[in-house]
């Protein structure tokens, strides 16, 4: 089974997979509403608006594993994201990204090395994984801003490979 076959549940309880986004460059991000990095939602939404019509989407995965910074229910998370940051990208069901009960998607993603050559546990909220349509994955740690040049390069590279396919 490949990364695109892993079962996911969206924030409304609907079953999906990354395969539903097979023709897109996907940025997977573990998100939280009460974190010092929460303002990254704004830049994530800007990326969604800038690249969405070119075959890109952000997928937000709420996670409460880091100091309980995502305590809300699905409805509370949706309301917060919509009213505070105008989020239009898909949100998924709350998951675990580390340890026992870690979601199978993150079992795969945490094997990917970051820019410093380090794989392993998700460090904190807002760790980003850019997945190209050819399943190439780039990993960016939480403090890397969503619009950082290296992330834009990963998005653009995935879009270019997708257009050439």
Smallest CA-to-CA distance from 63 within 98, 31, 24, 90 is with: 31
Cβ 27 vs Cβ 128: under 8 Å: yes
Q: Is 63 a catalytic residue?
A: no
CA 100 to chain centre: 20
Write out the two tokens for 86.
């105008």
Element containing residue 75 per DSSP (H, E) = helix 74-85
Residues in the chain: 165
Q: Which of 28, 35, 58, 154 is catalytic?
A: 35
Distances (CA, A) of 149 to 19, 103, 140, 157: 27, 29, 11, 12
Q: In the structure encoding, which two tokens stand for residue 121, read together?
A: 């546990």
- The torsion region of residue 15 among left (phi > 0), alpha (psi -120 to 50) and beta comes to beta
Could you list the active site residues?
35
């Amino acid at each position: 089974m490949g990364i695109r076959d892993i079962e996911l549940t969206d924030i409304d309880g609907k079953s999906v997979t990354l395969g539903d986004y097979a023709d897109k460059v996907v940025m997977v991000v573990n998100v939280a509403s009460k974190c010092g990095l929460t303002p990254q939602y704004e830049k994530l939404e800007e990326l969604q608006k800038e690249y969405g019509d070119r075959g890109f989407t952000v997928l937000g995965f709420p996670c409460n594993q880091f100091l309980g910074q995502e305590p809300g229910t699905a409805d509370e998370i949706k309301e917060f994201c919509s009213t505070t940051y105008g989020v239009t990208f898909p949100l998924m069901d709350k998951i675990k990204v580390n340890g026992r009960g870690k979601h199978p998607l993150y079992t795969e993603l945490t094997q990917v090395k970051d820019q410093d050559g380090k794989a392993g546990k998700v460090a904190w909220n807002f760790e980003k994984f850019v997945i190209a349509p050819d399943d190439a994955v780039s990993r960016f740690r939480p403090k890397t801003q969503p619009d950082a040049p290296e992330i834009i390069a990963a998005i653009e590279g995935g879009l270019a490979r997708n257009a050439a396919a």
